[in-house]
Amino acid sequence: MSGLALLLSPLEWVLVVVAFGSAVLSGIAGAGGGTILIGAIYAAGMPPVVAVPLHAVVQMASNASRVFAYLPHVRWRAAIVFCLGALPAPFVVAPLVAQVNPDYVRLVMAGFILWTLLPRASHALGLSERAAMGTAGALNGGVGAVVGATGLLIGPFFLRPDWAKESTIGTLALCQSLGHAFKVAAFATVGFAMLDQLPLLLGMIAGVVTGTAVGRWLHQFVQEAAFRPLFRGILAVLAIKLVWDAGQRLWLV
């Protein structure tokens, strides 16, 4: 670890700390951490063609560790439908990422998220489990290759009345992990070199794995009745953040 510390710049250490904190948040509530992390990576000055696959590798590890923590509660059939919906969008979208303005996508994401959080709109969404997972997979595969984090976008599809909070967190984590794996493979085909970012990747992966363990421990203190408001609150706050970030770049600069 001391050797790794020497290879990381102060800014990269900040990203490692943010990775840890984001994993703690996701371990407690099941969502939100990925958006915070991709925001930090963009703030560090990395272009989308580097930021998205870097974020995907780290979040793949973060979500995989959360899957193991909630393994008995995972809805495997739902995850299979999700994967069918997610492919092959990342391989189609990845070559186009450099030409897309992600701020417009952020605005669309924020609008959709806020709409689903309205009581009547959320009820109107009312999709069956299979339709919800297929739609979530398609959104993850297409939008995720552009903006990186899609937990906010697909989170409402996993907040189902017949699922316990552990099933929501575990199944969302599995689907996110698989979605990130698809993105890593897609960006590898267009030239992303993972080894060039290896020290930072190792540090951030260590951060998210440790953060997941801490978040899983803290999760036991969150009651079922408090989970849904917490989950929805995180979605709402971060959706507003998406609007703010996009608006600053599109209208204030």
Residue type, 160: R
List b or e across 40-78, with b for residues whose CB sees 16 or more CB atoms inside 10 angstroms: bbbebebebbbbbbbbbbbbbbbbbbbbebbeebbbeeb
Percent of residues, the chain, with pLDDT higher than 90 = 26
pLDDT at 120: 54
More confident residue, 43 or 196: 196
Mean pLDDT of the chain: 83
Provide φ and ψ at 70, rounded to 5°.
-120, 20
For every residue of 143-196, DSSP letters joined together read: HHHHHS--HHHHHHHH--TTS-HHHHHHHHHHHHHHHHHHHHHHHHTTT--GGG
Q: What is the pTM of this model?
A: 0.77
Band of the pLDDT at 6, cuts 50, 70, 90? Answer: low
pLDDT at 40: 81
Question: Are residues 20 and 208 in contact, defined by beta-carbon separation less than 8 angstroms?
Answer: yes
Model confidence pLDDT, tens digit, residues 28-67: 776 677 877 887 887 777 777 788 889 999 989 888 888 9
Q: Which three-class secondary structure state does DSSP give residue 44?
A: coil
User: How far apart, in whole angstroms, are the C-alpha atoms of residue 101 and residue 88?
Assistant: 21
Q: Which three-class secondary structure state does DSSP give residue 221?
A: coil
Model confidence pLDDT, tens digit, residues 119-169: 655 554 678 899 999 999 999 998 888 777 787 778 889 988 889 889 998
Into how many domains does the chain fold?
1
Helices (H), the chain: 2-7, 10-29, 33-43, 48-69, 76-86, 89-93, 102-117, 119-125, 129-147, 151-158, 165-188, 198-219, 224-251
pLDDT at 207: 93
DSSP designation for 192: -
Q: Which two tokens stand for residue 241?
A: 């953040």
Structural domain for 149, as ranges: 2-251
Q: What is the CA angle 199-205-208, rounded to 5? A: 145
Cis geometry, peptide bond prior to residue 88 (ω within 30 degrees of 0): yes
Percent of residues, the chain, with pLDDT higher than 70 = 91
pLDDT at 15: 92
Q: What is the mean pLDDT of residues 190-211?
A: 87
